[in-house]
Amino acid sequence: MIQKTVQEILKLSHLQNFGEFELFNVPEAFDVQAFFAFIKKSKCIMFQLEFANALSVACQTRLEAVVDEMIEAENLDYIPSWIYFPEIDVENARKLAKICHIYL
């Protein structure tokens, strides 16, 4: 159901009109790979995703890979997105906040 929700969000024709898009208490079933692919194609939206507590190790690994990709990129051709989950490495959260211009 949640994976279908991601696909429905991505189909919204007016989504490109948003300057910022925030989702809170995001469940583990959220298709972060599909959403991140969309984020990288979007040039004008700042996304903020804050995930729910108690994520599986597999989900944490997927999220860490996305965060690492944004942190390690020398030049981003998209707006970096704030992705937070309770188990995120504190140093990575700081680095991501810095490139997203978010104050922790």
What are the residue boundaries of the structural domains of the chain, listed by start? Answer: 18-100
Tokens standing for residue 63: 């999220």
Helix (H) or strand (E) holding 18: none
Q: What average pLDDT does the segment 4-18 reach?
A: 74
Q: Identify residue 49 by its one-letter amino acid code.
A: L
List Cα–Cα distances, 94 to 15, 25, 90, in angstroms.
28, 20, 6
Per-residue pLDDT of 59-76, as tens digits, reads 999 999 999 999 999 888
Q: How confident is the model at residue 2 (pLDDT cuts 50, 70, 90)?
A: low
Per-residue pLDDT of 15-53, as tens digits, reads 777 888 899 999 998 888 888 988 888 888 899 999 988
- CA-to-CA distance for 32 and 75, rounded, in angstroms? 21
> Residue 81: its pLDDT value, please?
93
